[in-house]
Structure 1
């Protein structure tokens, strides 16, 4: 592990912190003034194999040879993601505010409580390690982010289609990232060197859409002063992405069908056929089968577009991707605004994971942009989240029993190889790419078998009893919160948190026969944290009743 760098001209402060961190198995390296730190960072940047960069920097604010704030600015230039803790006297609180504005992780007022100082440094270490992992993931997946199984299925599907120019229909809710998938399909295709042209058919007035798609000749209508190339010609040798295809006017659907069938079209007012060597990808948030039944979409065009269908999951179906996406969008927003990227606390991330995101990934991106501007501190806390998140009910994903899906019968027809898309024989009822080239099937979540009724006894009065899935402790917590809120209980968050922490720590202490160190290890928290919590909650000894 990389060391904690301590910068202070007071040797007693350095000594105390070094010994306290050594007891926590955290390596340290100490400096007496900022110039030494900058020289050491220069050695690290130059690639000196004998030098290791810091995991966290802890710096005094007032030192001979330079201030901690000046050091903070220079360090942020050299290592933007490094957490910096500024130590300051109580009389320097104005400087502490300035430290936050310049990107400090936190400030530590002097004289400080040593266990609290160590706990703060450990939090900074965890944040630093989390940021390192996040940066590695973002470097490895620059196009699209997602570790959820549903997104991994999408990535595999893009890989399977990488050698084909087959027509693809992307379905998914608004804001789920359909255009990103279309761009990835283009980038990993035989026509990747050609242009990628996108058009939203719902955003262009009906009278202009035909000209936008196919172009027009000079004098074709009032205002047509010159010949104009349409999107099909602009996408020649590449990919044309037709977004929101379900909103295309019915009469234009006929013209689009002819292009897909014949590989050629006519400009508005033109008489000469224009060849189209274009790969078409379409997307919609609508149920096209239903649109066909209602007479709003041509059935023959639907089958032309529905060669391979790729369903993009909603964000609420892949909530485990929310932390990764949140950090990515916070970094992105900071670059756009020219400010230091903000970090986000675990409690705030947990609440975002419980949000339904009706606007999907686009809504999360907007929230991160809002937080970059509006959150007052460098670390985003739970209360900094926008009201739309804090006031929304906790989203409970539906659990469905596992259902085996048999491949549906498909009539295989041989389609002519047109310049528009080089296609092998395909099924008329389009398979949906979810993990492979298989017909669409309901997404199902396995439900594990119920656990045995017997349970280990954690205390003398514990009663082992099976808990039905429908009455989980999360639901009991939600019920209790609703009762307290409805009754006008003040500070519900603090009240429930104290009860939760008390029960959790008491149970761990009983299980470890009162051994605090072992209880802290099993709970995954620090020794200082459990000691402080026991004092705050009045848990001087585990219940023996």
Structure 2
């Protein structure tokens, strides 16, 4: 078992917990502040459980917990504090704490909490390992195959890599894969989002600061470049980096050295930089908002991640993975997609890409009423887009059939869509609720009734012509109040054989 880490600036608390844990036969390591604990984490040490005080000099317990979760997400963190107000308690759990100990606490109860945290982590590890392997799943898309091949070629390289792609395409996953398959895999992987940190704090975040460098700098602090020594530094949303920091970053890439904020001694680090952006950096260079020399320093090797709409063949396997992962996280049965639901998901364009698909799967795990997800169970944004696609497809069919019906092609089809739009406007003007649901049901009722009439009431044939399952047709008839005529397949087959 890895040691339990106790992080508290109170010597008495450290001493009591250390003695109690040793008595229980549990390995323990104590730290007087969060900075030294993070340094140990960066050097490869792995705690089984972390107990941390909230209010400490340097980095408070919540900041420490966030950084531990960013680097070792499976590590349970137990918060200790003498400030037992509601806000602190709620904040602890909202930020991912395993449990909360109010000082003064019973030592035996604390030991039980530590054992429970360690056991739950041990029980969850096989599941977490499986999820980690599935995070960068095999892909059948040619564009992703090129990305995988590039990762393999870059395994022995120290070249700077620029990852481009829309938001949500998995740029950080690719950066982590580059790190894990490189010769730096044993070193740290440090991720920084340049767009998420206020510009006046980003410099100190990247390069660190000396004591007294600015108000509040009560002690020296290492920056992300130092923390990534011997490993990989992932700079996400590099296109949002302020101009003054671009100059400093250029010097690090060119010379491998930098100064802390307020420092006078140059620091040299061995770090591989992987940058990512969803913005067209060439355009920002042309606009003067991004340094051209920095762009060329970053753009040594470029990997473009395709949006999910360009790799629809992967949607089924990704959805199955995300449904399994979210079910395991929530402790509920895994949802499966009906063919109609999967077809709708595969038609959706995913402006949020893989992240949006993952969010949809989490939504379905919570909101779907049964283990089999039907099309009607999908979230509104998918259903609305799928309904629009259905209208477009129906219009194309009507236009194609117009000459056979003796109608000018430009007049067949638009009439009913214009009528539908007018009906929608009237309903919206009356402030009717659920206009989309009402019109969707009307549309389905009309199409199903037409298919049943065309097939002479034979539900199997109607379902095949509509491209849906027979059970789905029967369910929709019940839901929409459509009379299916009671026709079955067997009487038809018997009549056709002459019996």
Displacement after TM superposition at 1:186 (Å) = 0.7
Residue number among 251, 256, 269 corresponding to 1:258 in the alignment: 251
Give the secondary-structure state (helix, strand or coil) at the position aligned to 1:191. Answer: coil
Alpha-carbon distance change, 293 to 479 in structure 1, aligned in 2, over 3 angstroms: farther
Count of matched residue positions in the alignment of Structure 1 and Structure 2: 320
Residue number among 301, 312, 315 corresponding to 2:305 in the alignment: 312
Alpha-carbon distance change, 140 to 260 in structure 1, aligned in 2, over 3 angstroms: closer
Whether 1:492 aligns to 2:443 is yes
Alpha-carbon distance change, 485 to 348 in structure 1, aligned in 2, over 3 angstroms: farther
Give the distance between the partners of 2:456 and 2:309, measured in 1 at CA. 32
Whether 1:200 aligns to 2:193 is yes
Give the distance between the partners of 1:395 and 1:319, measured in 2 at CA. 19
Alpha-carbon distance change, 378 to 214 in structure 1, aligned in 2, over 3 angstroms: same
Give the distance between the partners of 1:280 and 1:245, measured in 2 at CA. 11
Contact 2:239–2:290 (Cα < 8 Å) also in 1: yes
Alpha-carbon distance change, 486 to 372 in structure 1, aligned in 2, over 3 angstroms: farther
Q: TM-score when scaled to structure 2?
A: 0.56
> 1:15-48: CA deviations, max 9, x gaps?
xxxxxxxxxxxxxxxxxxxxxxxxxxxxxxxxxx
Counterpart position of 2:42: none
Displacement after TM superposition at 1:330 (Å) = 1.0
Give the distance between the partners of 1:142 and 1:478, measured in 2 at CA. 45
Of residues 188-197 and 153-162 in structure 1, the stretch that sits farther from structure 2 once superposed is 153-162
Give the distance between the partners of 2:251 and 2:452, measured in 1 at CA. 67
Whether 1:209 aligns to 2:169 is no
Displacement after TM superposition at 1:202 (Å) = 0.7
Give the secondary-structure state (helix, strand or coil) at the position aligned to 1:301. Answer: helix
Counterpart position of 1:164: 157
5 Å-filtered alignment, 1:41-440, equals 141=134, 143-392=136-385
Give the secondary-structure state (helix, strand or coil) at the position aligned to 1:392. Answer: helix
Displacement after TM superposition at 1:495 (Å) = 3.7
Give the secondary-structure state (helix, strand or coil) at the position aligned to 1:491. Answer: helix
Contact 1:244–1:283 (Cα < 8 Å) also in 2: yes
Give the distance between the partners of 1:193 and 1:502, measured in 2 at CA. 68
Give the distance between the partners of 2:160 and 2:456, measured in 1 at CA. 57
Show structure 1 runs of 5+ residues with no match. 1-136, 397-461, 466-470, 510-515
Give the secondary-structure state (helix, strand or coil) at the position aligned to 1:391. Answer: helix
Give the distance between the partners of 2:171 and 2:336, measured in 1 at CA. 28
Contact 1:145–1:325 (Cα < 8 Å) also in 2: no
RMSD of the TM alignment (CA)? Answer: 4.0
Higher helix share: 2
Alpha-carbon distance change, 537 to 288 in structure 1, aligned in 2, over 3 angstroms: farther
> Structure with the greater relative contact order (CA < 8 A, sep ≥ 6): 1 or 2?
1
Give the distance between the partners of 1:289 and 1:279, measured in 2 at CA. 23
Give the distance between the partners of 1:361 and 1:237, measured in 2 at CA. 31
Show structure 2 runs of 5+ residues with no match. 1-129, 390-400, 425-438, 475-483
Alpha-carbon distance change, 378 to 479 in structure 1, aligned in 2, over 3 angstroms: farther
5 Å-filtered alignment, 1:437-476, equals none
Contact 2:134–2:321 (Cα < 8 Å) also in 1: no
Q: TM-score when scaled to structure 1?
A: 0.52
Give the distance between the partners of 1:203 and 1:335, measured in 2 at CA. 30
Give the secondary-structure state (helix, strand or coil) at the position aligned to 2:218. Answer: coil
Give the distance between the partners of 1:194 and 1:140, measured in 2 at CA. 19
